[in-house]
Structure 1
């Protein structure tokens, strides 16, 4: 159980793939964890179902006002626009980097690893993602593999990664298991 463990979900103001936010969120809640939405925006984030607008969600904290000290783990949902915006925001990149600096577990899906590339957090790690990120991950020193879910144990943080929405059942189950052990 993740009883009372606080899990940050970092997303940009617009562009998060809704199911990659909501399904891991539910998994954390069902395991007894306390998910919080962190964003580079202030009030609400706009999620998408691929290219179509979906629901909006209230932001709990701004990335500039928090860090890994306030959480036990981090989830980075995908969507093409979401991580592209995050990797261009210094506060978001610093927020992600702080989890690796403190050795806290991180889970990432789909296009989410773009933010990890910017935070220099894939070097020497085995990771999966949406296939179009393969070259970016390799160029950043990571080992890209095509698998439903990959767990890369080791210093400084354990990293859970998945490719796409079809992988969500395995991704959610695995991130809960890893977060429980941390």
Structure 2
């Protein structure tokens, strides 16, 4: 999506050439393949760690850091592998996203009209909000030291698994003029009801 925004803002006349369906399918395929590759590498490594006695996962789901923490053997190699994959699969895409938004910012600042700048920033604001919410929590979750508290890990997992996906539709639809008008109408009615209740 950041590349889509980059082409839309920085090269608008080339948008249909730059964002063709074949490229979109390739980008989706790369994202899915990276996710599957990570699972195929980390799941066997994590599941082969020995567990001492009967232990329960003190978590909402079988999150990899929680399973690694349950092991009674030295997990330094597995943690190092998880860290390297975390850098490759989290920080590299985030860096590319931030580079594209940096180029967008430079292009937007060159726009002379305030209305043009506002329109360009509005095009990018919803995606950038979702990126910050998702990457902020998941990077902290997977690149944190092993001795971080379990409750903190639970909260972060809950946040990036439930809260961020739940907020996505609201973040993206609030840019829509019809949705904004409906929200103002509903909030306006609620205010009038509250004022009527007070009198």
| Structure with higher strand content | 1
Query: Higher relative contact order by CA 8 Å / sep ≥ 6: 1 or 2?
Result: 2
| Structure with higher helix content | 2
User: How does the TM-score come out when normalised to structure 2?
Assistant: 0.27
Bigger radius of gyration, 1 or 2? 2
